[in-house]
Amino acid sequence: MKLYDVVGTDKNLCFSPNVWKARLALNIKELKFETIPLRFDEIAPVIGPMIPKGKAATVPVLVDGDNVIHDSYEIVQYLEESYPATQRILFGSRAQDAFFNTWFALSFQRPMYQLTALDQLELLDEDQKEYIRRTRKEMIGMSLEELANYHPEAARESAQRSLEILAEFLSSFDYLAGDHPGWPDIVTAAHFTWVLRLNKATFQEIVLDDASPSIQNWWHNMQRYVY
Amino acid sequence: MKLYDVVGTDKNLCFSPNVWKARLALNIKELKFETIPLRFDEIAPVIGPMIPKGKAATVPVLVDGDNVIHDSYEIVQYLEESYPATQRILFGSRAQDAFFNTWFALSFQRPMYQLTALDQLELLDEDQKEYIRRTRKEMIGMSLEELANYHPEAARESAQRSLEILAEFLSSFDYLAGDHPGWPDIVTAAHFTWVLRLNKATFQEIVLDDASPSIQNWWHNMQRYVY
């Protein structure tokens, strides 16, 4: 299997939380794969022709024989159906997995993106920095500097409240999916990993320092899949 | 089937959001039941002998023939297993249902309890007011007046952020459980119903006025089960 990833200056650094989701799923299932690293400006020309017209050219894309699977949740579903003898990772309904995504994206991912907006530039080649600055300004409607300075305290509070909810839940369950790591664990560990790669100090200060023992224990257990 | 409920001065007013969960589940499944109304101070003497020693005497309790089921999620599971020919209401895993509970309790229920803390007194007999004031002060560590005045703006913001997440999700799905109403719809509609009964103005102002069309449409669809 081949997994298309996006990287920065370091070709071994998986740059996208969405690709981390696919990597974590493959690793939990102990499936072997080869990574195809792309720079940001290579995604559209390489991925575009591989996927149906009209869909946005994004990573991850998984190629398994003749099958081309696009989007991290689709990849997880494909792996679950195609490799039934491996560790299960989908335990709930699609709607509830989607609810976790929505909650996580608005409550944790969005504020953390703001708090690490400028850090991502440090990991990119000069010309890629310009690409990210320009495309992100088009998407967000403000520069990354303006985003980083837009009520950072509110962003920090939102992230911390999300961690309180995770901590409360993990005081009763080993994993966010229950007894085994599943989709909500994959989503959360993917973003934790991404923030850690972007800025160790921010991760330590916002995510781990205030984290309850239940989150720290969970994060320790998830480390075996982060590679 | 008999459902033990808690009421205020109005014997027909289901007072507890947890009992509303059981009522909504029974109504979605179109199962007939009789309500046994209890005052707050009747719960311990009536429910205590019905449930295992050491468990807190709370409503709802469902009695179906020889079966006594305590706790709203247990009731929903019991109904789903015992009446398989009725409309399904559990579509996800137990862990995912529990995650929704945790999120909802901390993000919406807790702040809304604070914002309606004093309203509940208006619906109670004089001696029951004293009972609620005393027991809630023991539980919370402050009077209901102190709770109502404890950063109400932060409570309001938390509730509104929760509604944003529900709105975003319901822009892609008909119900919080997916195609049909399920556990997360039951939890949310139970609390909406409770807030509406406690204070129509607060419900209108905080829950419905800012709500997206997707929430308003969902709430409209859930009305058929609220009785």
Chain B residues close to A106, C-beta within 8 Å? 161, 164-165, 168
Helix A94-104 vs helix A183-198: crossing angle, to nearest 10: 20
pLDDT category at A12 given cuts 50, 70, 90 is confident
Residue B165 is assigned to a structural domain of this protein: yes
Question: pLDDT tens digits for B32-78?
Answer: 999 999 999 999 999 999 999 999 999 999 999 999 999 999 999 99
Q: Which of B94, B95, B169 sits opposite A98 (nearest CB)?
A: B169
- Asked if A103 and B103 come within 8 Å (Cβ–Cβ), the reply is yes
Residue with tokens 């803390």: B117
Min Cα separation B215/chain A (Å): 14
Are A103 and B99 contacting, i.e. CB atoms less than 8 angstroms apart? no
Q: How many CA atoms lie within 13 A of B194 on its CB side?
A: 26
Q: Does the structure show a pLDDT above 80 at A172?
A: yes
Q: Does the structure show a pLDDT above 80 at B210?
A: no
Residue B28 is assigned to a structural domain of this protein: yes
Beta-strand relationship, B2-6 and B61-64: antiparallel
Does one domain contain both B154 and B209?
A: yes
Does one domain contain both A51 and A133?
A: no
Does one domain contain both B56 and B162?
A: no
Question: pLDDT tens digits for A91-145?
Answer: 999 999 999 999 999 999 999 999 999 999 999 999 999 999 999 999 999 999 9
pLDDT category at B194 given cuts 50, 70, 90 is very high
Across-strand partners of B38?
B6
End residue of a domain, out of A82, A103, A130: A82
Are B167 and B214 contacting, i.e. CB atoms less than 8 angstroms apart? yes
For the record, the structure tokens of A37 come out as: 């690293």
End residue of a domain, out of B82, B117, B132: B82
Res B11: pLDDT: 86
Residue A88 is assigned to a structural domain of this protein: no
Res A31: pLDDT: 98
Res B83: pLDDT: 98
- Asked if B93 and A177 come within 8 Å (Cβ–Cβ), the reply is yes
Residue A87 is assigned to a structural domain of this protein: no
Q: What is the side-by-side strand order in the sheet with A34-38? A: A34-38, A2-6, A61-64, A67-70
Does one domain contain both A164 and A100?
A: yes
B106 → chain A, closest CA residue: A165
pLDDT category at A88 given cuts 50, 70, 90 is very high
Chain A residues close to B96, C-beta within 8 Å? 91-93, 96-97, 99-100, 177-178, 184
- Asked if B164 and A106 come within 8 Å (Cβ–Cβ), the reply is yes
- Asked if A98 and B173 come within 8 Å (Cβ–Cβ), the reply is yes
Does one domain contain both A78 and A98?
A: no
Q: How many CA atoms lie within 13 A of B35 on its CB side?
A: 19
Does one domain contain both A148 and A198?
A: yes
Residue B6 is assigned to a structural domain of this protein: yes
Total beta-carbon pairs less than 8 A apart between chain A and chain B:
84
Does one domain contain both A99 and A177?
A: yes
Does one domain contain both B218 and B117?
A: yes
End residue of a domain, out of B82, B113, B147: B82
> What CATH number does residue A100 fall under?
1.20.1050.10
- Asked if A173 and B95 come within 8 Å (Cβ–Cβ), the reply is yes
What sections of A29-141 are H helices per DSSP?
40-47, 72-82, 94-104, 110-115, 126-140
Report, as an integer, the average pLDDT of A195-209: 91
Res B64: pLDDT: 98
Classify B225 as helix, strand or coil. helix
Task: Quote the CA–CA distance of A207 and A158 in Å, as a whole number.
Answer: 12
pLDDT category at B195 given cuts 50, 70, 90 is very high
Residue B88 is assigned to a structural domain of this protein: no
Task: Quote the CA–CA distance of B189 and B24 in Å, as a whole number.
Answer: 8
Min Cα separation B127/chain A (Å): 35
pLDDT category at A11 given cuts 50, 70, 90 is confident
Q: Which of B94, B98, B169 sits opposite A99 (nearest CB)?
A: B169
Does one domain contain both A68 and A170?
A: no
Does one domain contain both A133 and A44?
A: no
Residue B67 is assigned to a structural domain of this protein: yes
Question: pLDDT tens digits for A22-31?
Answer: 999 999 999 9
Indicate which of A90, A96, A173, A175 best probes the interface with B, i.e. most B CBs within 10 Å of its own CB: A96
Res A211: pLDDT: 72
What sections of chain B are H helices per DSSP?
17-28, 40-47, 72-82, 94-104, 110-115, 126-140, 144-148, 152-170, 183-198, 200-202, 213-222
Are A124 and A206 contacting, i.e. CB atoms less than 8 angstroms apart? no
Q: What's the ipTM? A: 0.92
What is the number of domains present in chain A?
A: 2
Does one domain contain both A121 and A56?
A: no
Q: Which of A96, A106, A175 sits opposite B165 (nearest CB)?
A: A106
Min Cα separation A35/chain B (Å): 32
What is the domain extent for residue B7? 2-82
Peptide bond into A84 cis (omega under 30): no
Task: Quote the CA–CA distance of A109 and A120 in Å, as a whole number.
Answer: 14
Mention every residue, 6+ apart, whose C-beta is less than 8 A from residue B226: B24, B27, B189, B193
Question: pLDDT tens digits for A41-72?
Answer: 999 999 999 999 999 999 999 999 999 999 99
Res A209: pLDDT: 80
Residue B170 is assigned to a structural domain of this protein: yes
Please name the amino acid found at residue B99.
F
Res B103: pLDDT: 98
Res A216: pLDDT: 94
pLDDT category at B21 given cuts 50, 70, 90 is very high
pLDDT category at B208 given cuts 50, 70, 90 is confident
Does one domain contain both B159 and B106?
A: yes
